[in-house]
Amino acid sequence: MLISEVIRKKRDGQTLTHDDIAAMVAGIADGGASDAQVAAFAMAAWLKGLSPDETAALTLAMRDSGDVFQWSDLPGPVVDKHSTGGVGDNVSLMLAPILAACGAYVPMISGRGLGHTGGTLDKMDAIPGYVSQPDNALFDKVVREVGCAIIGQTGDLAPADKRLYAIRDVTATVESIPLITASILSKKLAAGLGSLVMDVKFGSGAFMSKFEDARELAASLQRVATLAGLPCHALLTDMNEPLADAAGNAVETLNAIEFLTGARRTSRLEEVVIALCAQMLVASGIEAHAQTARSRVTKVLVSGHAAEVFGKMVAALGGPADVVEHPERYLAQAPVITELHANDAGYVSAIDARVVGLAVVELGGGRRRASDQIDPAVGLTRLAPLGAKLEKGDPIAVIHAANTSDADTAKSQLEDAYRIGASPKIGPVVAEVLV
C-alpha cells in the first residue's frame, strides 16, 4: 500500500483501516516513509482526528514496531502509571518501590524533562552510577529480582513512536489527543503491563491548563487502553502549584528518599502518591477496595519496606547501595544556596507553576531542546504552598544555583510566579477518578 494513499485518505477525512495504519507505522519504523510523509500524516491526523478504533490500531501497531516484554511467568501482577507531567512531580520515584513492596511488579519506562516539566529519568540520573538505560537483559533481571526498575525508552521499544514523536515535536502536532494517547499507550503496552493508572494533570503547571481538556485526554486514554486490552484507571490531579515542595533533579530525588523513609512528607504529595498507588493495587487485583489498598500502602511506608526496595533497585542498576541511608554523600549540591523572602505579609494566594518550572530550566536543571545538558544540582526547595501564611521576610523558597547571577534571575522569576494576598480557596488535589 502506498504511504501517500494513507495520507490522502486521512487528509480527506476518511476512516483508516487497520491495514492502512499498519502500513503507515511500518513506513515510520523502517524508513519507508520520508520525514515529509510522516509530518503530513501527523498533520492530517491532527486536523481530521482519529476515531477510538483508529487510535487503538495506531497504538498496537506502534507497540509491535519493536520489542514487547513478556512477564507471564511472574507470580504477581505487572503494573505501571503514567503522568502527563508537571512541576515537582517526583511521584514515580516513590510509587514504583511502594507497589513492589506490595507484591506488584513495575517495569517503569520513563522519559526525560522537556520544557517546564521535569523528567523522571533525569531525577534517577542524579544518582551517580545509576544505569537509566540498561539493556533488555538487565531490565528483565532487576524487575524480576527487585520488583521494579525505572528506566528510559530504548531504541528497540516502540521505535515507530520515537520517530513519530520527534517529527510531531517540530511540526506543531504534539497537542493532538489521539496522537498523545497512542504515543503514551504504545510504550506502556510494549512494557508488557497488565494494568495502567494515568495521572492526568491540569492547571498552570500542566501541559493542559484546562480541566475539561485534561478530562478529555483522560477519557481518551482510558477508552483506547480498553480497546487495546489494557485495563486503565485515570486520576485528574491539580497542578496549579508544584506537587512536591522541591523542583529540580537531585533535590527531587532527595525529596523522594525523605518521603520513603518518613523523614519529610508534604500533604499534597502524600495524597497523590497514596491515591495513585491505591488505584493501581485495585486495578491490578491485589486489593478489592481503595480503602484497604490505602492501608496497605501506608503499611509498607511505615515499615520501611518501600524505602528498602528503592535502595535495592538503585544498587541493582549500578548506583550506590547506601543511597537511602546517606543520600548527601551522592546527590550533587549546588555551590550557591540562597533564600527568596516575602516582601509583604499575607497568604500565598496564587502560584504560576509553569513559571516555577521555567525558573528551574533557567537555572540549568531543565531543557529547552532535547539535546541540552542539565545540571543535576540546581533547583528549588522549601517552596511555599498555596494558602501558606507568611510574615514579611519569611522564606518563600530556597534557590540552589550554579552562581549568584543565576540565583538572582531565579529570584526574579519566583517573585513573578508567587502572589501574596488573601487566603485562597483550595480545591482537592485529586479532582476526579475515572475507573
The confidence band for 114, taking pLDDT boundaries of 50, 70 and 90, is: low
Rounded Cα distance, 288 and 111, in Å: 31
Q: Is residue 404 part of a domain?
A: yes
Mean pLDDT of 422-433: 94
115, pLDDT greater than 70:
no
Note the pLDDT of residue 113. Answer: 65
Rounded Cα distance, 324 and 48, in Å: 50
Q: Is residue 210 part of a domain?
A: yes
* Domain stops at, among 280, 304, 327: 327
Note the pLDDT of residue 154. Answer: 73
| Residues 236 and 319 placed together within one structural domain of the fold | yes
The catalytic residues are: 80-83, 120, 168, 183, 187-188
Note the pLDDT of residue 92. Answer: 95
> Residue 198 in contact with residue 222, Cβ under 8 Å?
yes
Residue whose grid cell is 511540526 = 171
Note the pLDDT of residue 119. Answer: 83
Rounded Cα distance, 260 and 306, in Å: 7
- State how many domains the chain has: 3
Note the pLDDT of residue 175. Answer: 82
Helix (H, G, I), strand (E, B) or coil at 420: strand
Rounded Cα distance, 353 and 240, in Å: 6
The confidence band for 72, taking pLDDT boundaries of 50, 70 and 90, is: very high
CATH number, domain at 361? Answer: 3.90.1170.30
Residue 81: CB atoms within 10 A of its CB come to 26
Q: Is residue 256 part of a domain?
A: yes
Q: Is residue 43 part of a domain?
A: yes
Residues 6+ apart with CB under 8 A from 20: 1, 6, 9
Note the pLDDT of residue 420. Answer: 96
Query: In terms of residue numbers, what domain contains 170?
Result: 79-327
CATH number, domain at 42? Answer: 1.20.970.10
Note the pLDDT of residue 370. Answer: 64
Q: What is the pLDDT of residues 363-410, one digit of tens each?
A: 999 877 667 789 999 999 999 999 999 999 999 999 999 999 999 999
User: What phi, psi does 366 have (nearest 5°)?
Assistant: -145, -175
| Residues 44 and 112 placed together within one structural domain of the fold | no
Rounded Cα distance, 345 and 421, in Å: 8
Q: What is the pLDDT of residues 336-367, one digit of tens each?
A: 999 999 999 999 999 999 999 999 999 999 87
Q: Is residue 348 part of a domain?
A: yes
Mean pLDDT of 53-75: 95
Q: Is residue 74 part of a domain?
A: no
Q: What is the pLDDT of residues 234-278, one digit of tens each?
A: 999 999 999 999 999 999 999 999 999 999 999 999 999 999 999
The confidence band for 140, taking pLDDT boundaries of 50, 70 and 90, is: very high
141, pLDDT greater than 90:
yes
| Residues 289 and 385 placed together within one structural domain of the fold | no
Mean pLDDT of 91-109: 96
Residue 89: CB atoms within 10 A of its CB come to 29
